[in-house]
Structure 1
Amino acid sequence: MARRTPQPPTHPLQTRLEAVHAELSGLDGGTVSTSAPALAEADPDGFGLALCTADGRVHAVGDADREFTVQSAVKPFVYALALADSGWDEVVAHVGVEPTGEPFNALVLEAETGRAPNPMVNAGAIVTCCLVAGGTAREREDRIRAGLSGFAGRPLGDDAQVREAEAAGARNRALAWLMKDGGSLPHDVDDAVDVYLFACSLLVTARDLAVMGATLAAGGRNPLTGEQVVPVDLVPTVLSVMGTCGMYDGAGSWFVKVGLPAKSGVAGGVVAVQPGQLGIGTWSPALDEDGNSVRGIAACTRLSEDLGMHEFRPEGLGLPPVERAEARDTRSRTSRPQEDEDVLRSHEDRLHLVRVQGPLGLRSVDTVCAELLEAAQGWQGRHWLTVDLRAVGWVHGPAVDMLAEVLDVLAASDVTVALVDRDRSQRADWEGTTPDGTVRDLEDALRGAEDGLLASLR
């Protein structure tokens, strides 16, 4: 009997993607876009699904590597490039951030300002394409291609036939002329529309969209290439506008059900982002009445439900963020003369160890600070505090500042503080928060505290 070759185990996320894909492959409904012949000829049964984590692990199934034009799914990424190149003040002077309640290509501008209402509708994206770096239309196209390739982690081509077919339409030029007349379009109408249509014609796959979403999830850093594509500080703005405006007239019901910032395109692509965690990319060309992929919406909804991805879902409420160690655990394993051992045993109530674990956000740092301040109220004379951060995962910047303030208060009250963290390179915010800085090894910190105590008593 032939020996069966063992199959490698399947990752649980891959298993879930395969199950969702199999379940939804037969989902009917919707029609393909007819805005260009290539879109109208798309296979309505095509369906690709991919997921990329912020650590760079990609899982894909079905037609995840079939190319299609990105269309409106390009808009959040061009918006990010415009913010990076021109800055918030310049961008918001030309395009707003409010949802419209109108179709994506509606001939509607803000009555008071003449601006496009937001960068996720056609009018707004025409403007943001003007605000990426470049003195000419060709230079802006090159910038957009390079930027989108950076998000995707590979060079992206484009579909000239789709671009030419869509250029024959009058509505985008009508929008551009309205904005030009209102003073919110900073470039020539034809150049502005041509660059926008070029951006929409870039070719991507569902896998690409997942990586692009993961790049936003990772703070603008592509998890496959390591390239910082856009600055981290602008990512919350992009994700916020995606959340409120990204899914056309279906944005409200989408966020209630799925709870993730997302953007769709009329070629059937959908990109969704779970901040700090992952990106999802889907492709299926049959669209609902709002212009969103029927299977893409269903797949993202199912994944959000199955994996608990909704952004407003409370997480980690049962995890105690801080633990005060017993006195016996504050001692190192260093062998010392009996005289020193006796001294340390007599004064071990002046040695303290606090373990911090889990994500360090505002809720958890509040508990940590309260525990430290409460414990220090009873301390008399000089004390030594070791704060063990090795089990801390995600760190919120303002939480670091709050903890640093408490540690500074303790240091000013004759408490010597040492932080223990294995990976100092990932915790640059800790540097300089205490007189002793950070150490990598708990044993070193405990031994240092004992040495300090002994020296103070000699």
Structure 2
Amino acid sequence: MTKTLLGVSIFSFSILFSATTLAQTTPDYAKLIDQAHQKYKSNNDGKVADYIPALATYSPNNFAITIATVDGKIYQVGDVNKPFPMESLSKVFTMALAMEQHGPQVVLDKLGANATGMPFNSGLAIELTKGAPENPLVNAGAMSAVSLIEAKDKTDRWNKILDNLNVWADAKLTVNEPVFKSEMETNQHNQALAKLMESYNSFYGNTDEAVEIYTRQCSVDITVEQLAKMGAVLANKGKSPFNGKQLLNEKYVPQVLAEMAIAGLYDGSGKWLYTVGIPAKSGVGGGMVAVVPGEYAIAVYSPPLDEAGNSVRAQKTIEYVAEATQANVFLAK
């Protein structure tokens, strides 16, 4: 009798201790993002992108945060139902598709993995490297990545890129046609970058076709929840916690995250890695996603940008949450 009671007591204590430990070690994500939203919603720093006329129409007050965990949970606050153009966020997932098709060595050899130290649309960076785009997250490298996608023709290439975005987002995404039209009317600089790379044999298909498809992928609308789900694939070893599909070879995930760490925030990437310490990618539409391997992805939408083209509120929000959850990948765990 005594042994039985003692055994039950020990078992009960063990369950209680485990539950208490879990509660202590699992961050209160809902509380954290609510605190961040309250803390930064009145921040008016930055400016909405206007070099693409359609982007200038978005309200600077839009602000939304979503965390997607590797066990498939969603936490969110703010304007979570307001879609926005992916812009440079799309580069990560087309790069991942190219890597899935060709392997990381081809991506390294043809697209690179070095920071340029220059703006994301720099032509000088291409000249200095004799045509090497340096990484697939600057415009030159991203367009080159599009040209690397294996396809029968232009339509097939676009369908593969869009299908890839859809399955990562666990949603059916669509192109924002007014944004696409606006970007096509103002993308002469990207056309020039593509031709410049072609002159150095650093382009792997028709330049006009690749620029158009690249512009179209940048114009795909997304919400913060969908973006966070995409990031969660990378946090979860290349497997979506939401549809259960292995979307990227687990062995390739570190290379994708490395590219994000190197150039995800344009020429602000080094400072971001130094101060926050997690891989991230931004877009001039105001979106930003960051990945904490094995734990969660956080996506933020807020249009006002800093001089480098990164959302001001998004950076502050992600830094706040990352610090609270000790997410810095350089910290000893």
**TM-score, length basis structure 2:** 0.89
Matched residue type, 1:109: I
Structure 2 residue 305 is matched with structure 1 residue 311: no
Q: Do structure 1's residue 16 and structure 2's residue 48 form an aligned pair?
A: no
One-letter code aligned to 1:102: M
Paired residues for 1:43-442 under 5 Å: 43-107=59-123, 108-109=125-126, 111=128, 113-168=130-185, 169-315=187-333
More helix by share: 2
Residues 59-103 of structure 1 show CA distances to partners (whole Å, capped at 9, x for unaligned) of 010012210110001111111000111223433332111001100
Distance 2:276 2:87 in 1: 22
Shift of residue 111, structure 1, vs aligned partner: 4.0
Distance in 2, matches of 1:150 and 1:314, equals: 34
CA RMSD of aligned residues (A): 1.3
Specify the alignment match of 1:366 in structure 2.
Answer: none
Q: Following TM superposition, by how much is the alpha carbon of 1:195 offset from its aligned partner in structure 2, in angstroms?
A: 0.9
Q: CA deviation at 1:35?
A: 2.9
SS at the partner of 2:213? helix
- Give the TM-score, by structure 1 length: 0.65
Could you say which structure has the higher strand fraction? 1
Deviation at 1:237, TM superposition (A): 0.4
Which 5+ residue runs of structure 1 have no aligned equivalent? 1-10, 316-458
Distance in 2 of aligned mates of 1:88 and 1:259: 23
Give the secondary-structure state (helix, strand or coil) at the position aligned to 2:88. helix
- Are the equivalent residues in 2 in contact too, given 1:35–1:166 (CA < 8 A)? no
State how many pairs are aligned.
305
Alpha-carbon separation, structure 2, partners of 1:181 and 1:256: 36
SS in 1 for 2:208: helix
- Listed one character per residue, the Cα deviations across residues 342-401 of structure 1 (whole Å, up to 9, x for unaligned) are xxxxxxxxxxxxxxxxxxxxxxxxxxxxxxxxxxxxxxxxxxxxxxxxxxxxxxxxxxxx
Change (3 A) 1:12 1:106: same
Deviation of residue 104 (structure 1)? 0.5
Deviates more, 1:254-263 or 1:266-275: 254-263
Q: Is the 8 A contact 2:70 2:236 kept in 1?
A: yes
- Alpha-carbon distance in structure 2 between the residues aligned to 1:112 and 1:217: 33
Code of the residue aligned with 1:295 in structure 2: it is R
What is the CA–CA distance in structure 2 between the aligned matches of 1:39 and 1:161, rounded to whole Å? 10
User: Residue 34 of structure 1 is aligned with which of 50, 67, 75?
Assistant: 50
Q: Which has the higher contact order (CA 8 A, sep 6+)?
A: 2
Whole-Å separation in 1 of the counterparts to 2:265 and 2:238 = 21
**Cα distance in 1, alignment partners of residues 274 and 106 from structure 2:** 32
Larger radius of gyration: 1
What does residue 357 of structure 1 align with? none
Q: Which runs of 4+ in 1 moved over 2 A?
A: 35-38, 86-94, 110-113
In 2: Cα distance, 1:200 partner to 1:88 partner: 23
In 2, are the aligned partners of 1:64 and 1:282 still within 8 Å (CA)?
no
Rounded to whole Å, the distance in 1 between the matches of 2:205 and 2:153 is: 9
Partners of 2:208 and 2:215 in 1: how far apart?
11
CA 1:25–1:112 in 2, change beyond 3 Å: closer, same or farther?
closer
Q: What do the CA deviations read for 1:228-260 (whole angstroms, capped 9, x no partner)? A: 112111111000010111111111111122111
2:146 touches 2:213 (CA, 8 Å); kept in 1?
yes
Instruction: Letter of the 2:56 partner, please give it.
Output: A
User: Is contact 1:85-1:131 (8 Å) kept?
Assistant: no
Cα deviation 1:13-45 (Å, max 9, x = unaligned): 111111111111001111101133321010001
What is the DSSP-based 3-state SS (H/G/I as helix, E as strand, rest coil) of the residue aligned with 2:126?
Answer: coil
Seq. identity, %: 36
Matched to 2:39, the amino acid is E
CA displacement at 1:135 relative to structure 2: 2.1
Retained in 2: the 8 A contact 1:91–1:131? no
